[in-house]
């Protein structure tokens, strides 16, 4: 049995989506617990890949492929996990703020969070404040991450926080911000709950929030 | 002639942000001098990071850079039309504007641009956001050319920026920007520009990727680029490519460049 777990771990680690899907089906056929597949194969594999990325041993295209492999497996596992009442680590709404098209960093954060067992609602680039609020309500999210890569767009961040307040959902979510021009000072200034300098620390921050 | 725009005096870079805060004249002077010596034709100045007093900072930067480098051309890089107008009014030599686009909130900037004799960087993007395909970039070019003609801007001064995106997440983007440069030049009476460094995001040895695509873009007809001119291999590529493309008679520029070290 544990051979299958090792193989699934390897499939994600080796960026092989087809194998990840096949092995997931095979493992389920043998009666393995979906939660075990997630916790003992997928999450540790993405965790390791994330570490390699942080150390500069893996690069963006490779991260994307490993994430695809994990996603392929999760597509099969997620409904089964939901059925058996397994909750995700947290529900995160992610987006780049209005007017800002830079979404690579945010997508990396999204991938690493999915790898960490979070449910991620990625709203993509150029997300207006009301879209953030909508997504928080619709998905009953408890975490929100937004990024801005321009000095001209970081000014939209406080608008998102205000919109959350106005709609009465500010207390339901922990808000983290990221992106080149923002800082811990800026996070404090606008009343965000945290700031992360890169994708890896963003993941750690959300994990802390989710505890 | 190719236009090398030195990108280093940009407030999104930490050392420049710091220098603006502390009014560190020496760092700005050094960056201006080094870029000019390395072959920059234009020095880009961006003070956007200081949201409070961008105009004061732009004022300070222009004074310093014009004092440090003789006959320098300045590229006024700002999202604020007021700062843009201020900079264009102030600079001694014919400026470069960075930037206009089809976006609605750029209407004022387009108007300001029409009132000065300047080279203008026009981003190939509009309300729909970043362009994806070659066709997107051609459509944006067509729309911006129309807007410029309406305002009486000589499109010969318009440098369409083809918008570099990382090949790390979309491998077609390299071919797209190269084809865009070629097709924009075939179809419109404009010039082309690129801010290169995005292309290599998330990959090792970014300089190698940047200068390789640079050579390809030059062959396609690229007219200008925002680059770090102190990146010597990058400038080596420019000089070698110009010689290879027959734009350097008897290779004299290349020879002079190599002799100067």
* Structural domain boundaries in chain B: 1-93, 97-230
Architecture of domain B97-230: Alpha-Beta Barrel (3.20)
| A65, A104, A148: best to mutate for the B interface, most B CBs within 10 A | A104
- Alpha carbons B78 and B100: distance in angstroms, whole number: 10
* pTM for the full predicted model: 0.83
Interior/surface letters B41-60, b for 16+ CB within 10 angstroms, e for the rest: bbbbbbbbbbeeebbebbbb
- Tell me which chain B residues have a C-beta less than 8 angstroms from the C-beta of A61: 168-169, 171, 202-203
| B163, B168, B199: best to mutate for the A interface, most A CBs within 10 A | B168
- Chain A CA closest to residue B170: A61
Alpha helices in chain A (DSSP H): 2-13, 17-29, 34-37, 43-54, 60-83, 104-115, 129-139, 157-166, 184-190, 199-210
Closest chain B C-alpha to A29 CA, distance in angstroms:
34
Mean pLDDT of each 10-residue bin along chain A, 211 residues long = 89 97 97 94 92 90 92 92 88 92 85 88 93 96 93 89 96 94 91 91 91 85
Closest chain A C-alpha to B168 CA, distance in angstroms:
5
Q: What is the pLDDT of residue B197?
A: 87
Positions in chain B short of pLDDT 50: none
Q: What is the pLDDT of residue A143?
A: 96
- Tell me which chain A residues have a C-beta less than 8 angstroms from the C-beta of B168: 59-61, 64, 104
Interior/surface letters B126-146, b for 16+ CB within 10 angstroms, e for the rest: beeebbeebebbbbbbeebbe
Query: Which domains does chain A possess?
Result: 2-83 (1.10.1240.10), 91-210 (3.40.50.280)
Tokens found for residue B178: 């190269």
Predicted-complex ipTM score: 0.74
Closest chain B C-alpha to A138 CA, distance in angstroms:
26
- Tell me which chain A residues have a C-beta less than 8 angstroms from the C-beta of B12: 150-151, 180-181
Interior/surface letters A113-145, b for 16+ CB within 10 angstroms, e for the rest: bbbbbbbbbbbebbbbbebbbbbbeeeebbbbb
């Amino acid at each position: 049995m544990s051979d299958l777990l090792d193989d699934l771990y390897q499939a994600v680690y080796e960026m092989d989506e087809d194998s990840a899907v096949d092995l997931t089906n095979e493992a389920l056929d043998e009666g393995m617990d979906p939660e075990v597949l997630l916790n003992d194969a997928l999450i540790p594999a993405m965790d390791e890949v994330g570490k390699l990325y942080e150390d500069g041993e893996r690069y963006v295209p490779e991260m994307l492929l490993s994430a695809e492999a994990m996603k392929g497996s999760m597509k099969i596992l997620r409904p089964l996990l939901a059925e058996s009442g397994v909750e995700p680590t947290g529900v995160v709404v992610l987006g780049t703020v209005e007017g800002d098209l830079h979404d690579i960093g945010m997508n990396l954060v999204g991938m690493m969070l999915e790898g960490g067992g979070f449910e991620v609602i990625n709203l993509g680039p150029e997300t207006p404040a009301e879209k953030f609020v909508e997504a928080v309500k619709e998905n009953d999210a408890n975490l929100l991450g937004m990024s801005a890569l321009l000095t001209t767009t970081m000014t939209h961040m406080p608008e998102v926080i205000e919109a959350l307040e106005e709609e009465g959902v500010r207390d339901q979510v922990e808000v983290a911000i990221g992106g080149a021009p923002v800082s811990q000072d800026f996070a404090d200034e606008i009343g965000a709950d945290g700031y992360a300098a890169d994708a890896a620390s963003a993941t750690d921050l959300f994990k802390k929030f989710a505890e | 002639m190719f236009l090398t725009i030195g990108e280093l005096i940009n407030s999104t870079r930490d050392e420049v942000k710091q220098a603006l805060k502390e009014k560190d004249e020496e760092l700005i002077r050094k960056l201006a001098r080094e870029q000019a010596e390395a072959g920059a034709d234009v020095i880009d100045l961006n003070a956007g990071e200081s949201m409070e007093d961008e105009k004061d900072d732009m004022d300070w930067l222009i004074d310093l850079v014009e004092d440090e480098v003789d006959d320098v051309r300045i590229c006024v890089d700002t999202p604020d039309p007021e700062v843009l107008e201020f900079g264009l009014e102030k600079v001694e030599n014919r400026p470069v504007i960075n930037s206009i686009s089809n976006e609605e909130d750029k209407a004022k900037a387009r108007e300001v641009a029409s009132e000065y004799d300047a080279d203008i960087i026009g981003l190939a993007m509009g309300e729909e956001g970043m362009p994806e395909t070659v066709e997107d970039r051609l459509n944006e070019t067509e729309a911006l050319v129309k807007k410029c003609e309406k305002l009486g801007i000589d499109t010969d001064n318009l440098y369409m920026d083809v918008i570099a995106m990382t090949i790390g997440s979309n491998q077609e983007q390299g071919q797209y920007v190269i084809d865009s440069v070629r097709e924009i030049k075939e179809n419109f009476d404009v010039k082309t520009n690129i801010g290169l460094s995005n292309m290599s995001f998330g990959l090792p040895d970014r300089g190698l990727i940047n200068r390789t695509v640079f050579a390809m873009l030059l062959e396609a007809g690229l007219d200008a680029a925002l680059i770090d001119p102190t990146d010597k291999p990058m400038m080596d590529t420019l000089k070698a490519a110009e010689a290879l493309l027959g734009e350097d008679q008897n290779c004299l520029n290349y020879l002079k460049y190599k002799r100067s070290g």
